[in-house]
Structure 1
Amino acid sequence: MARYTGPTTKIARKFGEPIYGPDKYFEKKNYPPGVHGLMKKRRKVSEYGMQLLEKQKAKYTYGLLERQFLNLFKQAARSKGITGEILLQLLESRLDNVVFRLGIAPSRPAARQLVSHKHITVNGKVVNIPSYRLRPGDIVGVRERSKSLEAITESLQSNRHTKYSWLEWDGTKMEGKFMNVPERSEIPENIKEQLIVELYSK
């Protein structure tokens, strides 16, 4: 299955929350999509259904395919600590996610595109792998010849992104530092990671 590129509002309505950020269309129709959308609210979802929905929500939020997500989960399961929290920390450490968090791109899909098109550097070297895992101390910047790119300057000027404690941004150099892996309490995404762990543990 290819990566989803359809209407984001439709997916947000499926999960009952604006997982892609502020969405005026979602606010108008905050019920499941489809002809029987309003009726679906009354259905009782099974335990498995809730777990599956939570996994799908995490996948769509971070823009991963099934195999990528499963591989990350396996990596989290092999690590010491709470599997669900480590999974979210691995997702937050992805280069495309950090580019989005720093405000260089207005969304994760846009951040993924900037990385793929070689507009982003890590420690001074161009990296075009969106899934590249950052480590504490890594410097994420905009490539010199891409600093005047309209998509980047507009995103930075809009200043729509909250400042995160694990990231440090230098506007003059157009680069940010990945200070440390965030704690679960610092990650703002509304994801019940324990349900995902339960799903994969079956």
Structure 2
Amino acid sequence: MARYTGPVCKLCRREGVKLFLKGDKCMTHCTLERRSSKPGQHGSGRSRKESGYAKQLREKQRVRRTYGILERQFHKHFDAAARRPGKTSENLLQILEMRLDNLVYRLGFADSRAQARQLVCHGHFAVNGRKTDIPSFIAKPNDVITVRERSKGLEYFKARALLLAQKGVPAWLSLDTNEMSGRVITVPSRADLELPFDEQMVVEYYQR
């Protein structure tokens, strides 16, 4: 599985916003707050006015890096969103949110999407009772994501079970802390997602 393996704080500095790629650590140990300049030898120089294309590119990169997806996979998700009825921009966010790695993160089983992706790849989760180790698996309403029985005895999930009760989940998901499982109630609408993106610029980037 291809993934970004470089320093994630550099990505936040490049985009100029917190992407919360380290989960809760970003609240207390944020490199962006100490070094707000862009990475590289020209990062601290005078910034130039961005063109329309540059703004679209930056917005696309913010969305892609927030969800931890490389360009090829992200473009596939965009093509799938464009083929669906409705607004392509909203369809794209819904596809990204319904990925299994994102659902594991949203349900509180992981502190970040990167950690959630690793847990999924290691086979710790089942969807509707079937082991699923593909992070890009797209769930549907009423799908149930469960920590597998063999994984519940691990120290990580024992500690996580104590934390789940303190974490809330989005309204379009439900969580059963006793069973260590979550259910997709419905596909989220744009109003359900508090994301600092202008996803329409992503559409404009690919349709230019």
What TM-score, normalized by structure 1, do the two folds share? Answer: 0.92
Aligned-partner Cα distance in 2 for 1:95–1:25? 29
Deviations 1:80-127 (A, max 9, x none): 111001000000000010001001011111111111111001111110
Indicate the residue corresponding to 2:17 in structure 1. Answer: 17
Q: Is the 8 A contact 1:105 1:152 kept in 2?
A: no
Is 1:95–1:134's contact at 8 Å kept on the other side of the alignment?
yes
Q: How many residues align?
A: 200
1:108–1:81 Cα change, 3 Å: same
CA distance in structure 1 between the partners assigned to 2:162 and 2:50 by the alignment: 42
The equivalences for 1:23-172 within 5 A come to 23-40=29-46, 42-158=47-163, 161-172=167-178
1:192 aligned to 2:198?
A: yes
Q: Distance in 2 between matches of 1:177 and 1:112?
A: 18
Report deviation, 1:155: 4.3
Gaps of 5+ in 1: none
In structure 2, list runs of 5 or more residues that go unmatched.
none
CA distance in 1, matches of 2:98, 2:66: 14
Q: Which letter maps to 1:101? A: R
Whether contact under 8 Å (1:76, 1:86) holds in the other structure is: yes
- Whole-Å separation in 1 of the counterparts to 2:154 and 2:51: 47
User: Which one-letter code corresponds to 2:15 in the other structure?
Assistant: F
Relative to the length of structure 2, the TM-score reads 0.89
Q: Within 2, Cα distance between the matches of 1:145 and 1:5?
A: 29
Choose from 175, 178, 185 the match for 2:181.
175
Percent of residue pairs bearing the same amino acid type = 46
DSSP-derived class of the 1:38 partner: coil
Across the aligned residues of Structure 1 and Structure 2, the Cα RMSD in angstroms comes to: 1.7
Pick which of 137-146 and 3-12 moved more. 3-12
Structure 1: distance between partners of 2:14 and 2:201: 18
